[in-house]
Amino acid sequence: MARPGRPAMPKPNLSKWVDSFLDMLTTERGAALNTRHAYWRDLADVSLYLRAQRNKEIETATPDDLKAYLQDLSAKIHTKGSHSNQIAVRTVARRLSALRQFYRYLVSENIRKEDPTTTIDSPKQTRTLPKTLSEAEVDTLISVANGQGGAESIRLVCLLELLYATGLRVSELVGLPTAAIAEGSQFIMVEGKGGRERMVPLSESAQKALSTYMNVRPQFATSDDAGRMSKWLFPSRTSDSGHLTRQRFAQLLKDLARAAKIDEEHVSPHILRHAFATHLLSNGADLRAVQKMLGHADIATTQIYTHILGKKLKKTVEEKHPLATRKA
């Protein structure tokens, strides 16, 4: 299924080795469905190009074939007028990463003797710091959501409080089962990427918002023929999954940002996750603890937030330090 605003990609019959690779991601590496779909989109795009332009199947592609594809991809992105060269670089880098994973799999299965991506250099990327929100802006969002009234408002406040208190990925948040809430509602158990489980504490305000929401949750829930209530913490009667979708939650946040008079480009589930990490670190939290709560496998991923703090501290010194403000 295409994302909103993205045209549906033709559904080609891909190589059996692509299907085998995707199955391996799911069964052996525990990749989430969204991850599998992302790899499928990347490899399908390469496959369509190779068939149309090089008369090749993806498993027989040469380094020259792949270089031609990546050059064509870059040209198409720039032709469409991408507003950021960095977006183009990230797209090419992500596609190349998917190809490397695929060909390493083929080599490990003795389908190919060599990996054709080994001679292809990754495009150079500059470090981009994630957008975030100030603590005052987060407070404003919660306050405005709380003032809208009704069950929808109570649910939105609960979503905001849980996300800001835990830093969950949006897919983890909307896909929480009610069973994930520990007794006493002081913790939630989260199954993250690769099936890794982690326990994340809830703040008092998040616990209170959750308790209030549970009183109105039946208004959103469905039940089966036996009268059993939906297992999802945030059920939905309209989504195929049975729970609130990532897209719907993102739209609710955009609407809330406009109501709160905050730039909606700076409000999304992922930006609230960034705010969680940044605000914790700025208030003295341990980097390892933040890593565990975010569910990062590598602490290097978490360390990007220290760069945000470094930039903030530099600005503070420049504005407040007596030597920095002394006239020459």
Specify whether 193 is catalytic.
Answer: yes
Residue 148 burial (CB < 10 Å; 0-12/13-18/19+)? middle
Which residues, in sequence order, are CB contacts of 129 under 8 Å at separation 6+? 304, 307, 308, 311
Specify whether 198 is catalytic.
Answer: no
State whether the Cα torsion 289-294-298-303 is positive or negative. Answer: negative
Q: Can you read off the two tokens belonging to residue 112?
A: 């190919």
Q: Are 219 and 151 in contact (CB under 8 A)?
A: yes
- The active-site residue, picked from 49, 69, 103, 305, is 305
Confidence tier at 201 by pLDDT (50, 70, 90): confident
Q: Can you read off the two tokens belonging to residue 283?
A: 């208030």
Specify whether 273 is catalytic.
Answer: yes
- The active-site residue, picked from 95, 155, 243, 273, is 273
Specify whether 321 is catalytic.
Answer: no
Interatomic CA distance for residues 27 and 131, integer angstroms: 34
Confidence tier at 304 by pLDDT (50, 70, 90): low
Specify whether 80 is catalytic.
Answer: no
- The active-site residue, picked from 193, 198, 254, 292, is 193
Residue 8: the pLDDT is: 52
Q: In this model, does residue 115 exceed pLDDT 90?
A: yes
Interatomic CA distance for residues 138 and 147, integer angstroms: 14
Interatomic CA distance for residues 170 and 248, integer angstroms: 11
- The active-site residue, picked from 100, 131, 292, 296, is 296
Q: What does pLDDT average to over the chain?
A: 81
Q: In this model, does residue 20 exceed pLDDT 90?
A: yes
Q: Are 259 and 207 in contact (CB under 8 A)?
A: no
Residue 298 burial (CB < 10 Å; 0-12/13-18/19+)? exposed
Q: What is the mean pLDDT of residues 191-216?
A: 86
Domain boundaries along the sequence of the chain: 16-108, 135-264
Lowest mean pLDDT among 22-36, 59-73, 98-112, 245-259: 22-36
Which residues, in sequence order, are CB contacts of 158 under 8 Å at separation 6+? 209, 210, 212, 213
Q: Can you read off the two tokens belonging to residue 77?
A: 């992105």
- The active-site residue, picked from 56, 208, 254, 270, is 270
State whether the Cα torsion 159-161-166-167 is positive or negative. Answer: positive
Residue 294: the pLDDT is: 74
Q: Are 157 and 139 in contact (CB under 8 A)?
A: no
- The active-site residue, picked from 155, 169, 217, 279, is 169
Confidence tier at 1 by pLDDT (50, 70, 90): very low
pTM, full prediction = 0.59
- Give me the CATH code for the 135-264 domain, please: 1.10.443.10
Range 250-284 burial, b when 16+ CB lie within 10 A, else e:
bebbeebbeebebeeeebbbebbbbbbbbbbbeee
How many CB atoms lie under 10 A from the CB of residue 135? 13
Q: In this model, does residue 166 exceed pLDDT 70?
A: yes
The pLDDT tens digits of the residues spanning 46-96 come to: 999 999 999 999 999 999 999 999 988 888 776 655 444 555 677 888 899
The vertex-174 CA angle with 23 and 257, nearest 5°, equals 125
